[in-house]
Amino acid sequence: MGVTISTHNGSAVRREHNIRNEKVVSKEPHIDPNGIHETWIDEPTKERDRMRRYMDSLQFNDGTTALERFEEQEQQLHQKLNRDLQR
């Protein structure tokens, strides 16, 4: 049995292939759906994705995450801006 190691720095389609998204690889006859496949690290390439994941890992004493607090503040800002624009 052969072994393949792949890295990915390209399009979303290739990433879906590499992480064996069933919708993508079901159409590819060279991939055995029952074969052995491991994904060790799946790192989104966009800086925003990395930052959101990092913020989601930071937890405060009350159980909320930095991401939850950021999104709440962002929502409050949008609501305030909408109210100000309606005046």
DSSP state of 34: T
> Tens digit of pLDDT for each residue in 64-86?
999 899 889 989 988 988 888 88
Amino acid at 30: H
Return d(Cα 23, Cα 64) in angstroms, integer.
Answer: 34
> Tens digit of pLDDT for each residue in 24-45?
888 888 888 888 888 777 766 6
Return d(Cα 67, Cα 69) in angstroms, integer.
Answer: 5
